[in-house]
Structure 1
Amino acid sequence: MSDVTWTISQIGNGSSGLKSVATRGSHYGSGLSIGTTSARVRTSKTYHEFSCDCTDVALVFGNYYDFDQLNTNKVTVRASIEYPIGSTTRTEVFGPSGSRDIVIEPGGLVESTGTGIRGKKGEGFYVYTCISVQANESYPTGLVVYSSRGEGFADADIVTSGTTTGNGQFVYHPVAIIGRPKQSTPVVLIVGDSIANGAQDNPQDRGFIPLALGNQIPWIRIAKGNESSYGFAGAACRLRMRLAKYCTHSIIHYGTNDFMGKTLSQYQTDLTALLQLLTDYGLKNFVCTIPPRTVSKTDMAPLNAAFGPDGDVMKANNWILSNPRPDLISGIFDTSRVLRNTERPAEWDPDVLGGDGVHPGAVGHTRMAQVIDISKIA
């Protein structure tokens, strides 16, 4: 069967209205920060880039985590935006009621009012987000802050002024950065498993899809480690799917967890149901093929029969590449092809592996990103 590799230029144009306009909008997929015996305040500084020219820039925050579990307590959020970078005055962010303090109940999703910022495509900015909870309470976390990106955190309210004191930890942050694109543009919802979430890439919260999109296409990631296509359903995705309204397209990477007990026919049914869900939300869907899965990094034996040379995973990839549902699938990215040993396709190319037999490392993520060609975007 011939390779089927689509370019982002074939995805199409976005729609008008409030959409994601920047990079690194992300689900809180890293659990809860453990509560302490005293009230807790922490400010994160996260780096983002505008992926289109836009106006009415606003922030979206939530109070849920992992597989759409509600936090057990409300949280209070204050935020500001440093744009352009180096500006000594940070732009205040106000909640829908006009307050600087945005109180979010468990499970809540709150969209700020517009900040008046006009973003320019390709330019970076920082978001300062202060989260505060009472004694013995917790808050959700997602992105990792890295000093190499100028990011960090401080156990104080430094939203208006002040500097970070630490980095390298999971933090609270916006789940989406939205606004009004000046021109029609695609906006990608990243749906998938730990590989889609950037596991074992460098930095670990990047991943092949953000690497491919760069600062050319806005995106929001709702991928979660250990998730499968059948797991992304019902209550497990009800809160994350609220972010679909800020997107026009999806890129999907599932399968490695599906075949830990499911059959090919079950996978086909489950992926079709997922595609129908995303289509019902108005998204055009692009599907990635399924990578190998071996016992370990050094033992290249397939983890189970499904991942073997004639197993269900290979059959599933052929099924995906045939585009069995063009009404639900706008295109396919054959990302698995660049990860496999050319002589023994059920095994990994050793050069691409991370620290186990499940995830590609940075080289693998880079190869996968190259399959998603955005060079032809107008």
Structure 2
Amino acid sequence: MAAAGCLLFAVAVAVQAVQPDTHPRQPAEAHWVASWAVAPVDFRELSANPLLKAAAPRPGGDAFRGQTLRQQFEPALGGDRVRIRFSNRFGKAPLHIAAASVARSTGAGAVSPATLRTLRFGGRGSVVIAPGAEAWSDGVGLKVEAGQAVAVSAFFDRAVPFATVHLQSPDTSWVAGGNAVATPRLNDAAPLPLNHIVTGFDVMTTQPVRTVAAFGDSITAGGGEAGDGSYPELLATRLRNSPSAAQAVSVLNMGIGGNRLLADGIGPNGLSRFARDALGQSGVTHVMVLLGTNDIGRSVFVLPGRPTPEHEVVTAERITDGLQQLVKQARAKGVKVLIGTVPPFRNTPYWTEATEAMRGEVNRWIRSRQDVDGVIDFDAVLRNPADPTTFNPLYDNGDHLHPNKAGHAAMAAAVDLRELQE
């Protein structure tokens, strides 16, 4: 009987082993992930700021009139299907886009003809975006690779005043007369110093992706000599080349030069824009925050003819309270947070003994955090070992406030990749 029982048991196990799986593993669901994005600002703010040169001569003045805008950028992730976000966030009137396209860029405003794809919006070839609103194009099949430039073109059949813009690297935006969205090479194209209207580029994927929003001011945006070598871009390259990368990581540069955590100025303040510019990106999983330099410095520094209002004079406690609010917002969305310490700025108009003490207090608070997923000690990386209140000469771009190319590389190297892959 015992032998028979064992035989029956063995047969039962064998039968069970060959039974079909009644709960097969479902394929991963396709989803949109941000592959490139920027944080826009109001063109009027740039033009009014005496320290910026956004008011340089532009073809046709401060509006598009019967012209095609073409902009190129490099996505952080590849994919076979894409969509583009167009923004009228700071516009005062409806934004009419009469036609639009996307293609692989071949440089200098030209695109590969074989890759040109017409963009549609809810099935239509044109779209009207209300003031303060955004619109995504429909998804379209286009194979793109990480780091391979793509170009988005938009034709404006009526006057469109400059409104929603972003400071870009040189030679990434061009304007030409007429409807040229399907033209591989623009005729008589003129370069523009700004990125206009296009604020996001998503790819569709079924793979797990870590999407990191680098949220900050000009140091994040690439102020100084970095150009397209800002620390977020260099971090993205480092992640792509890492042999230990378990999955794809997209790094988005959501920095705005001159931005502050607590007060509006160049761009909305960090507290008010965090939900849209950082947490609002498709598939975001991590945020790296580096803000506070301009809040501290503007408490004592006065722009020509624009004294700092009383309510914009900050304390260390107000800054740390603001950073804590960002942490809470991210936690509520299930997004991991890494905070960077504020780099030194002695020998600039921002520096006094009082602002140095404030910076030290803010950095001590950041280093002591136990409720964040990581601390990136940019201060320790960039400061002068001989005088920690000053920038390391090896990393100083010359203004004693912004890192040079080597400084941005050091910042990118300071990020623990494991914290972005968890």
> Does residue 43 of the first structure (1) align with residue 62 of the second (2)?
no
2:284 counterpart residue number:
247
If you compute each CA radius of gyration, which structure gives the higher value, 1 or 2? 2
1:75 counterpart residue number:
95
Contact conserved, 1:75 with 1:139, CA < 8 A, in 2?
no
Contact conserved, 1:186 with 1:247, CA < 8 A, in 2?
yes
Per the alignment, in what secondary structure is the counterpart of residue 27 of structure 1?
A: coil
Per the alignment, in what secondary structure is the counterpart of residue 363 of structure 1?
A: helix
Mapped partners of 2:32, 2:220: distance in 1: 25
Mapped partners of 2:390, 2:147: distance in 1: 41
Aligned length: 343
For residues 28-66 of structure 1, what are the alpha-carbon distances to aligned partners after superposition, in whole Å with 9 as ceiling and x for unaligned? Answer: 2372588658835241231313424x34311111112xx
1:7 counterpart residue number:
none
Contact conserved, 2:231 with 2:408, CA < 8 A, in 1?
yes
Contact conserved, 1:213 with 1:374, CA < 8 A, in 2?
no
Q: CA deviation at 1:131?
A: 5.0
Mapped partners of 1:74, 1:145: distance in 2: 28
Q: For the structure 1 residues 38 and 132, does the alpha-carbon distance in structure 2 shift closer, same or farther, using more than 3 Å as the test?
A: closer
Q: CA deviation at 1:221?
A: 3.1
For residues 328-375 of structure 1, what are the alpha-carbon distances to aligned partners after superposition, in whole Å with 9 as ceiling and x for unaligned? Answer: x11111122121110110111123222423222223222211212549
Q: CA deviation at 1:306?
A: 4.0
> Does residue 186 of the first structure (1) align with residue 210 of the second (2)?
yes
- Output the amino acid matched with 2:77: S
* Structure 1 segments unaligned to the other structure (5+ residues): 1-14, 65-69
Q: For the structure 1 residues 38 and 222, does the alpha-carbon distance in structure 2 shift closer, same or farther, using more than 3 Å as the test?
A: closer
Mapped partners of 2:295, 2:63: distance in 1: 40
Mapped partners of 2:157, 2:314: distance in 1: 41
Mapped partners of 2:286, 2:332: distance in 1: 12
Contact conserved, 1:37 with 1:136, CA < 8 A, in 2?
yes
Q: How does 1:323-342 map to 2 (within 5 A)?
A: 323-325=369-371, 329-342=372-385
Q: CA deviation at 1:92?
A: 2.4
- Output the amino acid matched with 2:406: V
- Output the amino acid matched with 1:161: T
Q: CA RMSD in A?
A: 3.2
- Output the amino acid matched with 1:169: P
Mapped partners of 2:165, 2:218: distance in 1: 16
Mapped partners of 1:319, 1:241: distance in 2: 22
1:128 counterpart residue number:
152
Q: CA deviation at 1:168?
A: 5.8
Mapped partners of 2:200, 2:168: distance in 1: 16
Mapped partners of 1:140, 1:125: distance in 2: 22
> Does residue 358 of the first structure (1) align with residue 401 of the second (2)?
yes
Equivalent of 2:142, from 94, 105, 117? 117
1:103 counterpart residue number:
128
1:158 counterpart residue number:
180
* Structure 2 segments unaligned to the other structure (5+ residues): 1-28, 45-53, 56-60, 241-248, 264-268, 300-312
> Does residue 177 of the first structure (1) align with residue 209 of the second (2)?
no
Q: How does 1:1-378 map to 2 (within 5 A)?
A: 17-20=31-34, 22-23=35-36, 25-29=37-41, 31=43, 39-52=65-78, 54-64=79-89, 70-77=90-97, 78-83=99-104, 87-120=112-145, 122=146, 124-130=148-154, 132=156, 134-135=158-159, 137-144=161-168, 146-147=170-171, 151-156=172-177, 157-164=179-186, 165-167=189-191, 169-172=193-196, 174-203=198-227, 206-214=229-237, 216=240, 217-231=249-263, 232=269, 235-236=272-273, 239-240=276-277, 243-259=280-296, 260=299, 261-296=313-348, 303-308=351-356, 311-325=357-371, 329-374=372-417
For residues 141-163 of structure 1, what are the alpha-carbon distances to aligned partners after superposition, in whole Å with 9 as ceiling and x for unaligned? Answer: 2143544xxx4413233321142
Moved more, 337-346 or 359-368: 359-368
What's the TM-score, normalizing by structure 1? Answer: 0.79
What's the TM-score, normalizing by structure 2? Answer: 0.71
Moved more, 92-101 or 267-276: 92-101
Mapped partners of 1:176, 1:58: distance in 2: 8
Richer in helix (by share): 2
- Output the amino acid matched with 2:329: L
Richer in strand (by share): 2
Q: CA deviation at 1:194?
A: 1.5
Q: For the structure 1 residues 93 and 60, does the alpha-carbon distance in structure 2 shift closer, same or farther, using more than 3 Å as the test?
A: farther
Mapped partners of 1:362, 1:218: distance in 2: 21
Per the alignment, in what secondary structure is the counterpart of residue 151 of structure 2?
A: strand
Per the alignment, in what secondary structure is the counterpart of residue 18 of structure 1?
A: strand
Contact conserved, 2:68 with 2:155, CA < 8 A, in 1?
yes
Query: Greater RCO between the two (CA within 8 Å, min separation 6)?
Result: 1
Per the alignment, in what secondary structure is the counterpart of residue 252 of structure 2?
A: strand
For residues 4-41 of structure 1, what are the alpha-carbon distances to aligned partners after superposition, in whole Å with 9 as ceiling and x for unaligned? Answer: xxxxxxxxxxx962211x24x21223725886588352
- Output the amino acid matched with 2:332: D
Q: For the structure 1 residues 270 and 144, does the alpha-carbon distance in structure 2 shift closer, same or farther, using more than 3 Å as the test?
A: closer
For residues 256-275 of structure 1, what are the alpha-carbon distances to aligned partners after superposition, in whole Å with 9 as ceiling and x for unaligned? Answer: 12323422222221110121
Q: For the structure 1 residues 117 and 193, does the alpha-carbon distance in structure 2 shift closer, same or farther, using more than 3 Å as the test?
A: same
